Structure 1
Amino acid sequence: MRLKYDVDTKILFQIGDPLDQCCATYLHNALYEFCNVNAVNLSVPVPKGGLGDFVKAAKVIGAAGFDLTMPHKSAIIPFLDECDPASRAFKCVNHVKIREGKLIGVGLDGAGMGLSLQYEQGDIGGRHALMIGAGAVAGPIAADLCARGVKKFTIVNRTVEKAKYIADTLREIYGADTTYGPFTEEYLSQTAPDITLAVQCTCLGGGSHWQEFPHLGFVDLLPKECIAADVLYPTTTFLEAAKSRGLPTVSGKGMLYQQQLAMMEFYFGVKLGPDALAEAIEALEVAIALRGVRNERRAELASMSR
């Protein structure tokens, strides 16, 4: 992958803290090249509380925009001049473009998951969705599912008030039929037999949190036609439990692939067809590998400096 840079190059950033697990910069640069877009994406750690200074700097240098990960997805909203209603309501924005000094934000996590489910499993309209977790991505994903015909939701979360907020917002904005409750084995088991789409939206059960998903017994009670989806990738304990039941599964990889296609249209007006999905998949695989090499090298340098 070659990085082009000249006076016309659009500069974008990936910001968050920490960025050790992020591979978006590699992925985005590969897609820029594939689309022949004269742009470059750079990773910049921006700690909590530093967002205001970064926004000022981005405007001064003429940045075209920036991608956000934690802890900035909600914190960016007061800085925005424009934002789509769902992203504002659920306080989750992960892409910002700067046009004539104005910040225009959008959350594409929802579109990524919705497009991935539709691409891999077909029409999902009419299903009863269980949203596991009520963090930053759960609301936008539920909003996108509403747009695809899902009108009944059950939201569970450790902090029940957060689940209630998503349930109330879906009802008010989209007229969805919603219920909510605690993230407990009892409540999940009680709800499971009616669920036909389960979306895991927490950080539990994947990567370093592999052993931390506390309640998986409910998976045995899900109907055989239930689709199990997860925002994490490549797999999680939840997805593995669903696979063992023979349920159709969708990992967070598909969500990330599809999100890239939506991102290219948001930033550059480039509409990519289905043929570009293979390029996005290849770019992501390379990005994950490069992330691993980078982190190994960091660890080596850290041990040498001790």
Structure 2
Amino acid sequence: MKKLFGVIGDPISHSMSPAMHNDLFGFYGIDAAYLPFHVSKENLEAAVKGLKALEASGFNVTIPHKTDIMAYLDKIDPLAEAIGAVNTVKNENGFLTGYNTDGPGFVKGLETIDADLGSRSALIIGAGGASRAIFFSMAQAGISRIDLYNRTYDKAEELIRSCPFNVESKVLNRETAEKTLNEYQLVIQTTSIGMVPDTGSLPLSPENISQDAIVSDIIYNPLQTTFLKAASKRGAAIQNGIEMFVFQGALAFEKWTGIFPDTERMKTNVLRNLGG
């Protein structure tokens, strides 16, 4: 019998996950289909029950359900529990387990540039949900120093306090972050600043970025933000949000099938769908 997978969210029509995963099922000869499901907030519980009744083998969860979904699962992976968000669910005989592959996917994407991330100190710009997943996953991966810059100081402080892993961290104001930017070998931009249509905006001045740094911006529309362009001009290695999207999907696919898929194939597929 054909296996069912999917993604739930609101909105959902923009999702590139169906094209990415259905291509992988065909490539690996797996009899399965991956479908998008538009699920409003008030229908989330019913949707989870429906997917379980349909014996869906697994599904992804996107905005705005990544936190609320946790109430309807049987088990939550410790990292996802700490982050407070689930983006991947695996169904084993009606028992639903939730995982967060966003943060680990981001780390795996960075490792395509440098496999020894633990030797680098990091600055994360932003303190929202994506920042939290990335911060906790980087700390779990052994990056010893991760500082935060966020416009709301208290939110960044709370994020640091709630991290369950040992990591040296402090919150910076904008002036200090800009002045000391050259001290960081990893600079990670996690806010929506610079996304279409406001592509000219910068989260902070990039003037002091080190030429030895890796600079990542999790935005992929545009494929290269103004912040990444400025970092590249200074000689830094740059990465947009496609790797994070691809590797979170690869990790989800592995949890469902036991196969870690061809991420270059996935990236090519995503770029084709983006028209880039």
Say yes or no: TM over 0.5.
Answer: yes
1:168–1:178 Cα contact (<8 Å) kept: no
Q: Does 1:12 align with 2:5?
A: yes
Q: How far did residue 193 of structure 1 move?
A: 3.1
Cα distance in structure 2, aligned partners of 1:88 and 1:158: 26
**Which deviations, in whole Å up to 9, do the C-alpha atoms of 1:119-176 show, x marking residues without a partner?**
1233111221111111112122122222333111111223333212221123xx2210
From 67, 70, 85, the equivalent of 1:74 is 67
Partner of 2:105: 112
User: What is the deviation of 1:55?
Assistant: 0.8
Which deviates more, 232-241 or 279-288?
279-288
1:110 positional shift: 1.1
Counterpart for residue 280 of structure 1: 266
Write the deviation string for residues 40-89 of structure 1: whole angstroms up to 9, x where unpaired.
11111112232112111111221112111110111111222212222111
Equivalent position to 1:244, from 233, 236, 240: 233
Q: Using the alignment, how far apart are the partners of 1:46 and 1:243 within structure 2?
A: 40
CA apart distance, 1:260? 2.6
Aligned: 1:40 with 2:27: no
- Candidates 144, 157, 162, aligned match of 1:164: 157
**Structure 2 residue 200 is the aligned partner of structure 1 residue 200:** no
Q: Distance in 2 between matches of 1:50 and 1:287?
A: 29
Shift of 1:97: 1.4
Can you give the 5+ residue segments of structure 2 that lack an aligned partner in the other structure? none
Taking the aligned partners of 2:12 and 2:58, their CA distance within structure 1 comes to: 18
Are positions 1:154 and 2:142 aligned together?
no
Q: Establish whether residue 175 from structure 1 lines up as the match of residue 157 from structure 2.
A: no
Q: CA deviation at 1:20?
A: 4.0
How many Å separate the matches in 1 of 2:66 and 2:176? Answer: 29
Q: Is the 8 A contact 1:32 1:40 kept in 2?
A: yes
Distance apart, 1:239 and its partner CA: 1.0
CA contact (8 A) 2:126 2:191 kept: yes
How many Å separate the matches in 1 of 2:140 and 2:149?
21
1:187 to 1:54, Cα distance in 2 relative to 1, 3 A: farther
1:41 aligned counterpart, secondary structure: strand
Structure 1: 5+ residue stretches without partners: 1-7, 293-306
1: distance between equivalents of 2:68 and 2:33?
A: 24
Residue 82 of structure 2 corresponds to which residue in structure 1? 89
Residue in 2 that maps onto 1:142: 135
What CA deviation, in whole Å up to 9, does each residue of 1:231-278 have, x standing for no partner? 121221221121121211111112222223212211111134xxx232
Residue 220 in structure 1 maps to residue 211 in structure 2: no
Cα deviation code 1:81-120 (max 9, x no counterpart): 2122221112121111122222111111112111111112
The aligned amino acid for 2:216 is: A
Give me the TM-score of the superposition, normalised by structure 2: 0.92
Q: What secondary structure sits across from 1:49 in the alignment? A: helix
Paired with 1:156 and 1:20, the residues of 2 have a C-alpha distance of: 33
How far, CA to CA, are the matches of 1:245 and 1:216 in structure 2? 15
Aligned identity (percent) is 30
Q: TM-score, normalised by structure 1?
A: 0.83
Residues 103 and 133 in structure 2, CA contact (< 8 A), matched pair in contact too: yes
1:209, 1:99 → 2: CA distance? 43
Contact 1:151 1:177 survives alignment (8 Å): yes
Decide whether the 8 Å contact of 2:83 with 2:136 is kept in 1: no
Aligned to 1:295: none
Query: Separation in 2 of the partners of 1:21 and 1:237?
Result: 23
Greater gyration radius: 1
Q: 1:261 aligns with which of 238, 250, 270?
A: 250
Q: Which has a greater percent of helix?
A: 1
1-side partners of 2:68 and 2:201: how far apart? 27
**2:4–2:33 CA contact under 8 A, matched in 1:** yes
